[in-house]
Structure 1
Amino acid sequence: MLSILEKFDIFGVPIKLKTIKKQEQFKSSQSGVIAIIIMILSLAYFFYVISLWINGKLIPKVTTSQRMIDYTTYEWENSEISFTLYDIRSKINPFTKENNIIMPVLLEISGLIISAYPRLLFSTLQVDGDKNVITIDKGKLVLSQVDGSKEDDQEDIKQYFVFFTKCRQDWMEEGGYCADQQTIDDYFSTNHGLLFLSINLQQYNYETLEFDEIKKTQFFAFEEKSPFYSQVVLQKQQTTIDDGILFSNFKTFEVIKDYEVNTQAVSAKFAQDTVITVDNIQLEFESLGAFIFRIDNIQANETILMPKLGEVLAQIGSIVNIIMLLKILSNMINTAMLESTILHQIIEIYYPQFQHVQITKNFLGQIKQVHYKGVEIKLANFQHKYNQLLEIARTKFTFNNLIQEISRVQLVLINQIGIQNIKNIFKIEEDLKFFESDRLSNSNHQIQNLVSVLPEESPKKSEFERFELFNSEFPS
């Protein structure tokens, strides 16, 4: 039963023979240097990639797509939309609540109907030393179908209409007032530069694993005689992030990815002719510039798959495998050195004089000098004979030759000792006996078996010493 189970064992290990140094494998200093280099490079690259992964330096897998949407909302509360007038000719801030010159007005529009009372935007925020700054502190835009069915929880379409006009006292809030007419006329008598529209966009930062705000700015010529109308289309993006280390951990965010601006020249009455109130009352004003903000009905979808531990280890493994190709070189070096050592030992078995031979080789294994008993001999002659002996040793080191040599030894033993004596030797079991009587009764038989060959019948030592390399052929 046990023998049957042994046949199914797939974890068997080979039986290894030890070398002269009592090692199961042949090892060399050259291969040790390569092994140290491999370990240092592998560990260094391992820590390098792990450090990149921890610090978010590894590029994630990002896929993007677009789709049409018929309903979405976007709400903000941190002054993401701002206007700045870069006036290089005057230090007057025209957007202040007191002594106001230019009045920025925000209208909430559903379709073409004003759905809320106009809200005035005054310059109260100082940004990077700029004083002519107005912001839309908070707001909510809705993309919805003007006509058609909507869900019960869906809101009506909502857009923002912002226009700039000369100050009107009848629109002024409590505590505010317009500058006198002479000041307003003097201000508009000169050019006052550019009007900047800035909107904060969101982009995912792979290193900090958070969204960074990036301000994108568009420039518009701002003068009384050239009114303009700009349509600002906000492009929304749904970002799905998988930041799990081992398993998936999806998180979804909705951000503003970008915006487009379409601008055209219009008349000063364009804005007032475009919008009317819910009471069907038309506002009368002249605009210097007008902006309408809405959400685009094309939404971008972005999926970010952060590198997981398995991918990092796979990347490390692929590079380490390339580094481990050095192991092939190391094995080749060890194989060549092992073969050279074994072949030299085989030669020493047949020619004991080789124990006194000192061979000096370079790093590539080429013979540079040869000394015999301290005396240098000619390299050219030695190399030729030594190569012949190596070829003979390679032949003797083959498995077939070993079988052949053993068979010849067997024939010699049969011829010299006799087949019957050999059989008697294999039948001896008395060496395993523990009692004195067992050993005494068979001692004579053992001695007779071991001395069947007389000393004078054994081969002479001189018959094996036929190698004359160091005596005559190679003079010192």
Structure 2
Amino acid sequence: MSLLVKHIKKIDFFGAPLVQQIDQEQSIYKSILGGVITLLICSASLLYTIWVIYLWYTNQFSPKISSSVYVSNFELLDINYDLIKICYYKYEENLIDPFEAKVLLPLIMYTENYTFTETKVLNLTNEITYYGNRYIIPQMRLGFTEINGVLITTSEMYIQIVKCTPELLGEGEQCASEEISNQFFSQAQNIIIMQIKNKQLNSKDGSMQSSVQEFFVQVEKPNCYTLNTFLQSSFYEVKDSILFGSPKYYEYVNGALIQPQTNTVEYCQQAYGDETYASLYIVMKGNQIKTILEYPNAGDLLANIGSIVSVLFMVRHIIVFFNSYFLNEKIINEMISYYYPQFSLIKTHKNWKQEIVNVTLQKQTLDLNEYKRFYEDIRSKIEQKLTYVNMLYEMSRIYILIRSSKSIDEIKKCHSLGVKLGHLRQTTLGIDPFSKCGLSSKELEDQILNDEDIGILSLHERKKQFKINNIVDEEPELIDFYDLNRIKL
């Protein structure tokens, strides 16, 4: 089991590396320039994200649209609305409306397998036209049959405009007089309007829109005008889910093709059995256009946002480069100041080319060329010291120096040495001042490790000593060394 756990740990690519602190205040070097650029990039990214979401929410993103020829079985076709409206073109108020005056009657006939099955008179509705008269709205009924793999319209619809006869009227109704009938046919223009209300989806937001096509049929005594109307339809597949989900399907009539034909009244009477002046044959085309509307989903939004944000964050590499450069300069200068404490007081002045033109130390001007030679020389030495190989080398030299004055057995004893936590005990054990070969209490106390030994050579202790500006010298033999190299800032 432990072997399995070990192998599982090896394949973990989420492992977090240990980032050692360069100093106590920072684990990663950060600069004002990096902070300003980060603020600008994050602000721009956030604003762009809000803008993209706003465009998506307000349906301002264009969908992906693809179209193809499609053969439908018309199961989803919506025709249960006022798809077709018929009215007389009453462009003047004094004109006789043949439907209201009972000069002409609209008949609707349905067929089944090309045989008439039902005929009835259409009544005027209460819906008013633009011209002030009333509409005739037939009830649509279409049927389809698949024969040898081909979908064929076998249930059709005819609307006949016929001469009014008493047999077609209901009880209490009567046809127009011969005088009114003659007056109607003597009018300058007698036109029947057929309106087809089309529906289509708005590709912008997927909402349903309507439009109207108008077709005109003339009415005159000697002729029978026929409009063979082939309704066109569109099939829509809408993919508008946020992330996952099934598409939605819609099917609407979106137009019509008209095949006009002129016959004699005698021909239409022989065909339909009534004195007919106009015939509207309505059928559905079998093929249609299938349109797929694919609206942006959450994945598309994230891809859109991520692409621009990634471009913005390309600037990050430039800022990282500058931060790496400034970090390197900062560490080198601090290392130089460890050996030359006065180096931190040197002020350099640069021109627009970033070339040093003047150097001062405590308001005294230094020789520029001499400073450049010094700085280049000491910089190269410090850069060498900052390598891990050099650090390990210097540690090995320190060990050799210690080994030159200490025996191996004495060095081995250091592994068991450390600062005791005796001051945390409730009872304190006394120290026998005579237990160490007659050492005095002061000498014994100096040999015992305490809390000060932890940071006696730390940077914090160095800064504190500079503030006190006093180094206590206890060993007389080192006084000359301290006096010769002490620097007061």
Query: Which residue in the other structure is 1:122 paired with?
Result: 124
* Aligned residue in 2 for 1:285: 275
Say if 2:78 and 2:252, in contact at 8 Å, map to a contact too.
no
Residues 236 and 255 in structure 1, CA contact (< 8 A), matched pair in contact too: yes
Q: How many residues align?
A: 443
Matches of 1:247 and 1:291, distance apart in 2: 46
Q: After the TM superposition, which residues 84-123 of structure 1 pair with which residues of structure 2 at under 5 Å, given as runs?
A: 84-89=87-92, 91-92=94-95, 94-97=97-100, 99-122=101-124
The equivalent of 2:39 in structure 1 is: 36
Q: Is the 8 A contact 1:105 1:164 kept in 2?
A: yes
3-state SS of the aligned residue for 2:118?
Answer: coil
Q: Map 1:38-437 onto structure 2 (within 5 A).
A: 38-60=41-63, 63-68=66-71, 76-89=79-92, 91-92=94-95, 94-97=97-100, 99-122=101-124, 124-127=126-129, 129-132=130-133, 134-144=135-145, 157-168=154-165, 170-192=167-189, 196-205=193-202, 212-220=208-216, 222=218, 224=220, 228-241=225-238, 243-275=240-272, 283-287=273-277, 289-305=278-294, 307-359=296-348, 371-374=360-363, 386=375, 390-409=379-398, 413=401, 418=404, 420=406, 424-425=410-411, 427-428=413-414, 429-432=416-419, 436=431
Structure 1 residue 188: deviation in Å?
Answer: 3.8
Confirm or deny: 8 A CA contact 2:107 2:119 kept in the other structure: no
Kindly state the Cα deviation for residue 130 of structure 1 after the two structures are TM-superposed.
3.3
1:401–1:68 distance in 2 versus 1, CA, 3 Å? same
- Which residue in 1 is equivalent to 2:457? none
Which AA in structure 1 matches 2:281?
I
Whole-angstrom distance in 1 between the partners of 2:190 and 2:388:
97
Q: Is the 8 A contact 1:72 1:142 kept in 2?
A: no
| Partner AA of 1:217 in structure 2 | Q
Residue-by-residue CA offset, 1:282-318 (whole Å, 9 max, x unaligned): x13142x332111222244455555444444444333
SS in 1 for 2:307: helix
Q: Residue 328 of structure 2 aligns to which amino acid in structure 1? A: E
Query: Structure 1, residues 419-441: CA drift from partner, whole Å, max 9, x if none?
Result: 54587345334544667369963
Q: Distance in 2 between matches of 1:421 and 1:458?
A: 26
Counterpart code for 2:478: P
- Aligned partner of 1:441 in structure 2 is 436
Question: Matched residues, percent identical?
Answer: 20
Which fold has the larger relative contact order, with Cα–Cα distance below 8 Å and residues 6 or more apart in sequence?
1
The alpha carbon displacement at 1:33 in A equals 1.8
Q: Which moved more, 1:330-339 or 1:423-432?
A: 423-432
> How far apart are the structure 2 equivalents of 1:379 and 1:268?
117
Sort the Cα spacing of 1:366 and 1:252 in 2 relative to 1 into closer, same or farther, 3 A: farther
Gaps of 5+ in 2: 423-428, 448-473
CA distance in 2, matches of 1:424, 1:188: 135
- TM-score norm. by structure 2 comes to 0.71
Q: By how many angstroms is 1:24 displaced? A: 1.5
- 2:128/2:135 contact within 8 Å kept: no
The CA deviation at 1:85 is 4.5
Q: Which runs of 5+ in 1 are unaligned?
A: 276-282, 466-476
**Could you say what the CA RMSD is over the residues aligned between the two structures, in angstroms?**
4.7
Q: 1:341 deviation in Å?
A: 1.3
- Measure how far apart 1:81 and its partner are: 1.0
- 8 A Cα contact 2:88 2:98, kept in partner: no
CA distance in 1, matches of 2:255, 2:435: 107
Q: Secondary structure at the match of 1:139?
A: coil
TM-score (structure 1 length as normaliser): 0.73
Change (3 A) 1:74 1:387: same
**The 10-residue stretch of structure 1 (27-36 or 435-444) with the greater mean CA deviation from structure 2:** 435-444
**What is the Cα deviation at residue 380 of structure 1?**
8.5
Amino acid at match of 1:22: E
In 1, the alpha carbon distance for the partners of 2:99 and 2:434 equals: 125
| Cα distance change of structure 1 residues 381 and 103 upon mapping to structure 2, 3 Å threshold | farther
Cα distance between partner residues in 2 of 1:84 and 1:362: 89
In structure 2, give the amino acid aligned to 1:455: L
Give secondary structure in 1 for the equivalent of 2:344. helix
Whole-Å separation in 2 of the counterparts to 1:238 and 1:251: 11
1:356 deviation in Å? 0.8
Shift of 1:64: 4.4
Q: CA offset at residue 132 of structure 1?
A: 4.4
Aligned to 2:466: none
Does residue 455 in structure 1 map to residue 478 in structure 2? yes
* Structure 1 CA distance for aligned equivalents of residues 381 and 236 of structure 2: 74
Amino acid at match of 2:154: I
